[in-house]
């Protein structure tokens, strides 16, 4: 079975190639299950006009399609950089078992890529965030949640 450093080297290679050939950002990730790569992704936010097109999210999407499931229990994720909060949330929902990362968010900050405002927003109380939030139609939405709970095969993950 390949060593973790071999998978990380592959992720770095994928990110560098996508950056040089396709204009992607150099952030890439791979998902590994049982020693096999089951998903790959690169940061194509600009190319795809999609703010969620981070390498980790794209690798999770690819692995889900390839494995035919959203549940990636037993999978590891290798990423070329410490993930942002959105990507950590995606790993949580996908049940990623272990994370390996190369560069840090501090390394990104050193080249002018600052995620401190995102971190502050995510970690603050909903009503204290820079992004204004207003609750609307809570009762109606709760009724749909209760209906979902009563559906056959309900699974709240």
Confidence of residue 155 (pLDDT cuts 50, 70, 90): confident
Q: 48-99: per-residue pLDDT in tens?
A: 999 999 999 999 999 999 999 999 999 999 999 999 999 999 999 999 999 9
Could you say which DSSP state residue 130 is in? S
Q: 5-30: per-residue pLDDT in tens?
A: 999 999 999 999 999 999 999 999 99
How far is it, in rounded angstroms, from Cα 127 to Cα 45? 28
Q: Is pLDDT at 121 greater than 80 in this prediction?
A: yes
Q: Which of 56, 76, 97, 109 is catalytic?
A: 56
Composition of the chain by helix, strand, coil, percent to 5:
50, 20, 35
Q: Active-site residue 56, yes or no?
A: yes
Q: Is pLDDT at 149 greater than 90 in this prediction?
A: yes
- Residue 105's closest CA among 71, 131, 81? 81
Burial class (CB in 10 A: 0-12, 13-18, 19+), 115: middle
| pTM, full prediction | 0.90
pLDDT in the model for residue 140: 96
């Amino acid at each position: 079975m390949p060593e973790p450093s071999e998978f990380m080297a592959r992720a770095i290679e994928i990110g560098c190639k996508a950056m040089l050939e396709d204009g992607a950002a150099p952030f890439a990730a791979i998902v590994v299950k049982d020693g096999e790569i089951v998903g790959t992704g690169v940061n194509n936010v600009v190319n795809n006009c999609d703010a969620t097109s981070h390498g980790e999210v794209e690798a999770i999407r690819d692995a889900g399609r390839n494995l035919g499931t959203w549940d990636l229990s037993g999978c590891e994720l290798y990423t070329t950089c410490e993930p942002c909060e959105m990507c950590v949330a995606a790993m949580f929902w996908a049940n990623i078992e272990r994370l390996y990362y190369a560069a840090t968010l501090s390394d990104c900050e050193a080249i002018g890529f600052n995620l401190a405002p995102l971190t502050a927003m995510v970690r603050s109380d909903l009503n204290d965030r820079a992004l204004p939030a207003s609750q609307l139609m809570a009762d109606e939405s709760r009724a749909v949640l209760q209906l979902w709970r009563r559906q056959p095969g309900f699974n709240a993950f």
